[in-house]
Each structure stands twice: as C-alpha cells, then as structure tokens.
Amino acid sequence: MYNTMEDKLLGPEKECVMDLKGRVWIESKKLWIVSTPAIITRLTSFGILVTTQSFMGHIGETELAAYAIIQIIFIRFANGILLGMASALETLCGQAFGAQHYHMMGIYLQRSWLVLLASATILVPVFIFTSPILRLIGQEEELSAVAGNISIWFIPIIYYFVFSFTMQMYLQAQQKNMIIGWLSSISFVVHLTLSWLFVYKLNLGIPGAMGAMIISTWSMVIGELIYVFGGWCPETWSGFSMHAFADIWPVVKLSVSSGVMLCLELWYNAVLVLLAGYMKNATIAIAAFSICLNITAWEIMIPLGFLSGACVRVANELGNGDAEAAKFAVKVNLWVAIGAGWQSVVAYVNLGCYYIVGIPIGVLLAYVAKLDVRGIWIGMMCGVALQTLVLLWITWKTDWNSQVEKASQRLNRWFLAPSHGNDENT
C-alpha cells in the first residue's frame, strides 16, 4: 500500500526500479560466484610466470632478458593457441550446463583434451629450436643461446596449459571452480617457497627457477584431476568414453577459431617485444618492456576473471534458451564474445585493430619519431582502445534471440543421449 499521493502516482515506476535493482543484484551475485575463483586463479597462475622472471633477474641480466623473450614471444604464442582453443570448451560446456545436458560436459572435456594435446605436441619443436629461430630473425647471439636453454624447460609447461585451461573451463561452467582457486593459490605459495630454496639457497640457477615452476604448476593439475576423477563431479563426469572420439571435427573448427581469436590478441604484445629487440641495448630494452607488460598483464587478470564469469553466465543462459537473460547478463557484465561463440568475429576485430592499426603506429613512433620503447607502447594502447570500441559496438547491435537459436542448434547437433551401460566406457 502506498503511504502518500506521490508514492501512489509513482508506484509502478518505483516498483520497476526496485525490480531492476533486484535483478542486477541477483545477476551480480551469480557473476561473483564464478568470477571470484577465476580472478584468484588467473592472478596466482600468471603470478608464477612473473615471479619466475623476478628470480631470473637475480641469476643474471642476460638470463632475465632471455626469459622475457621466451615468455612474451614463445609462451604467449603457445598460450594464445591453447587458451584460445580451450575457450571453445567454455562455449560448449557453458551452453550444455544451461541446457542441462550435464553428461555431455565430460565428453566435451575429453574431446578438448584430444585436440589440445595434439596441438601442444605440434608446438614442441618451436621450443626445441628456439635458438636457431632467434638467430634467424636477427637477435643477439648470447641472448639466443641462453633463451634456447630456458625454452627446453618450458616444454612441460606447454602440456600443463592443456589440462589447466580445459579443467578451468569445465569446472567454472558448472560453478565448481572454487577448487581451482584454492589449488592455484597453494601452487603459488609452493612456487615461491621452491624458487627461494632452489635459486637463493641452493644456487641452482636456471634449472632451479624453472624446476620450481614445473613442480608448482603440475601440482595444481594433479589436484584438479583428483577432484574430477574422485567423484566430485558426478553429473558431468562418468568416466572415459569412446564418444570423445566422435564429432571431433566440429570441435576442431570451433577450437581453431577460438585459438586464432586469442592468438591475435596475445601475439600483439609478442610482436611489440620483438620490435624492442632490434633497438640499441636490446637486452635492456627487452627486459624493461617485458617487465612493464607483465605488470600490466598481472593487473588485467582481474577483469579477465570477470570476463570468465561473463562468458559462463551468457553461455548458461543461451543454453537455457533465455535470450533476455543472456542480454541482461551482458548489460551487467559488460562483455560477451566467447560465451556466445563469436570467436571468428573477434578474430577479425583483433586482426584489424592490432595489426593494421596498433603495430604500424608503434613502428612509426618508435623508429621514425624516435620515441623508442615509448612509441611502441603508445601504438599498443591505440590498438587496444580501438578494439574496445569496436567490440562495444558489436555487443550493442547483437540480436540475442538469434544467438539463442544458434546455441540451440549447436547443442542439438552435438547432443548424445546419456548411456547407463558399461559398453560405452573404456
């Protein structure tokens, strides 16, 4: 009942406002449930790479620059491919969970493992032949030799990416990624402890710093596998299935488009670091530029955590067939692209904004205007700003009813009826 004439006149409008506040509050809570563990995971996982660079700096100046060029160029190259391809699982699992096709999530996870393991194996020669590759593109001899030594130690990290990325997508789609937040935090503490012991106390140099990274990262993966295989995901994991080998090609296509989308974004920074390597005092330029990039990237892990939450929310609502809920989730979360399956579109946006606009501006400012590293940095920011504006415009113009229809078609095309027999499992 309204207490005053003004309340009576404005009653419907006030109820609408209160209803909107309630919806925003509910959506925000859903977002935070997924985003908080994702933020913790991204901060600690990326923190392992950043702190390893710090320990490399205590080993030597050349080691610091060599690690920087491996991490920014080669690891981001592999990271972009594997994380991008794993983001296809974010689409598939998110929409399957929203549609209550729970048993399909375990099958999608296994298919993603097959695709990403094959991709990781194809990438291994890049890390074996790092030194010749760097010499071929004109990098300094000493830097190339040390980088080749460090890159070999990164091969186990490539396979860690396969399981870490896919398990994170799989668990967060069903809002069970708090376990990943805990495991990643523990692995970060383990990494700091082992790095201090191996580098400072035992003076093991590069093997000590890289060995600490391998142990800490794989400890997290082992914990994730124990969690899934141990029965904590009974609805979505029923064991290994031969169905994982069926319909691989559609997963490959979606994974490739996802990989290209993210690669074009992550390689953008790699190209800029490579440009810094041709300046005077290349060792110092690479080290300084990579440190700035890593600090910035570490900060970006927080909005990326929200991005993960947004992708899950949008994918869940699309899979549930609710276009209005998906649209409202976008408005609250201010992003979409992966959850809706827009990987190909974003790939073209990244290509244009970064490589046609950002890099040429950076080259002109660095080498023509003689701004050096500062010019490269300005060019990078120009590309990022343009990409943000374009994606906001695309989001604004999206027909969400059409996106629901596409999600439904994808789910129905790949749906397999749950089997309770033992003949399907291996």
Does some domain include residue 8?
Answer: no
Total domains present in the chain:
1
Residue ranges making up the domain that contains 137: 27-303
Does some domain include residue 354?
Answer: no
In the predicted structure, residue 216 carries a pLDDT above the cut 80: yes
Give the pLDDT confidence of 15-29 residue by residue, as tens digits.
Answer: 444 476 777 677 777
Bigger pLDDT: 275 vs 67: 67
- Between 110-114, 132-136, 235-239, 299-303, the lowest mean confidence (pLDDT) is in 299-303
* Three-state secondary-structure class, residue 425: strand
- Between 176-185, 188-197, 318-327, 335-344, the lowest mean confidence (pLDDT) is in 335-344
pLDDT band at residue 258 using 50, 70 and 90 as cut-offs: low
pTM: 0.74
Which of 362, 111, 97, 121 is closest to 235 using CA atoms? 97
Does some domain include residue 50?
Answer: yes
CA distances in angstroms from 322 to 301, 307, 314, 386, listed in the order given? 29, 20, 10, 31
The pLDDT assigned to 323 comes to 65
Does some domain include residue 414?
Answer: no
Separation of alpha carbons 193 and 274, rounded Å: 32
In the predicted structure, residue 425 carries a pLDDT above the cut 50: no
Does some domain include residue 104?
Answer: yes
In sequence order, the 6+-apart residues with CB closer than 8 A to the CB of 372 are 279, 285, 366
Percent of the chain with pLDDT over 70: 71
Separation of alpha carbons 120 and 268, rounded Å: 21
- Between 95-99, 223-227, 314-318, 386-390, the lowest mean confidence (pLDDT) is in 314-318
Asked if residue 56 lies in contact with residue 211, where contact means CB atoms within 8 angstroms, the answer is: no
Bigger pLDDT: 384 vs 187: 187
pLDDT band at residue 393 using 50, 70 and 90 as cut-offs: confident
- Tokens 């029923």 found at: 238
pLDDT band at residue 392 using 50, 70 and 90 as cut-offs: confident
Kindly report the average pLDDT of the chain as a whole number: 79
- Between 38-47, 153-162, 365-374, the lowest mean confidence (pLDDT) is in 365-374
DSSP string of 351-415, one letter each residue: IIIIIIIIHHHHHIIIIIS--THHHHHHHHHHHHHHHHHHHHHHHHH--HHHHHHHHHHHHHHH-
- Between 130-134, 236-240, 416-420, the lowest mean confidence (pLDDT) is in 416-420
The pLDDT assigned to 250 comes to 73
Bigger pLDDT: 408 vs 226: 226
- Between 94-98, 325-329, 413-417, the lowest mean confidence (pLDDT) is in 413-417
- Between 5-14, 42-51, 81-90, 310-319, the lowest mean confidence (pLDDT) is in 5-14
Bigger pLDDT: 209 vs 422: 209
* Three-state secondary-structure class, residue 241: strand
- Between 16-25, 47-56, 231-240, 346-355, the lowest mean confidence (pLDDT) is in 16-25
Does some domain include residue 376?
Answer: no
Does some domain include residue 378?
Answer: no
pLDDT band at residue 412 using 50, 70 and 90 as cut-offs: low
Does some domain include residue 64?
Answer: yes
The pLDDT assigned to 337 comes to 42
The pLDDT assigned to 170 comes to 92
Which segments of 196-281 does DSSP mark as H helices, in order? 205-227, 248-276
200-214, 232-246, 274-288 — which one is most confidently predicted on average? 200-214
The pLDDT assigned to 14 comes to 43
The pLDDT assigned to 403 comes to 62
